[in-house]
Amino acid sequence: MIAFIEENRDIGVEAICKHLPIAPSTFYDHIAKRVAPSRLSDRAKRDEDLKPEIERVFEENLKVYGVRKIWHQMRCEGFDIARCTVARLMKDFGIEGVIRGKKPRTTIPDDGV
């Protein structure tokens, strides 16, 4: 929606926002944060600092580690980070650990039927 408003800004931001489910202040805030990263929230700033570290741990371990092991490795390296934060950031990257083992076979077909 932000891109659409930017493309049609000559019509007027308030006029466009009146017909879309977005407040003009939200649009202006988004633009301000893009121009000045210092206006980002503390969580967004910390996420930007943690992203390369999570990717580094993932790459160093042959792209096998999942959330729990990456979280544990980062805690061992001295990062104060919650497991749910690692999970959220990994989901944002689109990375996931390898699942070991086979799926359980729950049904054995009866050939006599």
Per-residue pLDDT of 46-68, as tens digits, reads 999 999 999 999 999 999 999 99
Sign of CA dihedral 87, 41, 56, 91: positive
Cβ–Cβ under 8 Å, residues 63 and 79: no
pTM of the model: 0.71
Task: Dihedral sign for Cα 47, 49, 55, 57, please.
Answer: negative
Please, which residues have CB within 8 angstroms of residue 16's CB and are 6 or more apart in sequence?
Answer: 4, 5, 8
Contact 86/71 with Cβ under 8 angstroms?
yes
User: In the prediction, which pLDDT does 26 show?
Assistant: 94
Nearest to 66, CA basis, from 35, 95, 106: 95
pLDDT on residue 74: 98
Q: Where are the domains of the chain?
A: 2-39, 42-93
